[in-house]
Copies of this chain bind each other. A is one copy, B any other.
């Protein structure tokens, strides 16, 4: 079934598709690292966008993955929910400035065995066929700061 994009999704339809590229990460508790990232934003004709991310390390082995949804509320606001196999879920509210989305966590929830994460910020921007995404966080006792950034090309 070829579903039309829901009207509420139209303002962020620039996200839809599969994006691939490279990123790098750093944090006070780890060594700096680089990765390859594939991100997919899909729609199912409803007022949300499904998000899937997978990264691979320099050796080609699987590194991180996460999935979630950007949800458009009835009053036109943006929310983002994400779950991670590290035992973490995030709930964000967001704002859109043209093709730049900024999300700030309102809730970060942890499974009993997960590492401590207190706050997460995410920025996704598309300019032409290039997507940049960045993640800031405060975790494991460290102050809120930049953790990850990637530059992706539409495939």
Contact = CB atoms under 8 A, between A and B. Distances in A.
A110 B109 CA distance: 11
Nearest to A56: B1
B44 A79 contact: no
Contacts of A84: 69, 81
Identical chains bound together, number = 2
A96 to B, nearest CB: 16
Interface in A41-72: 44-46, 48, 50, 52, 54, 60-62, 65, 67-69, 71
B67 A68 contact: yes
Nearest to A89: B89
Nearest to A88: B81
Interface in A89-148: 89-91, 93, 106-107, 109-113
A73 interface: yes
Contact of A111 (B44, B46, B60, B91): B91
Given A83-B67, A89-B81, A113 B62 contact: no
Interface string A71-88: 101110101011111111
Q: Which 8 A-B pairs have the closest CB atoms?
A: A89-B89, A69-B85, A48-B85, A67-B67, A83-B83, A73-B113, A81-B83, A79-B111
11 contacts: A3-B62, A52-B67, A82-B89, A83-B89, A87-B91, A89-B89, A89-B91, A89-B109, A91-B109, A93-B111, A109-B109
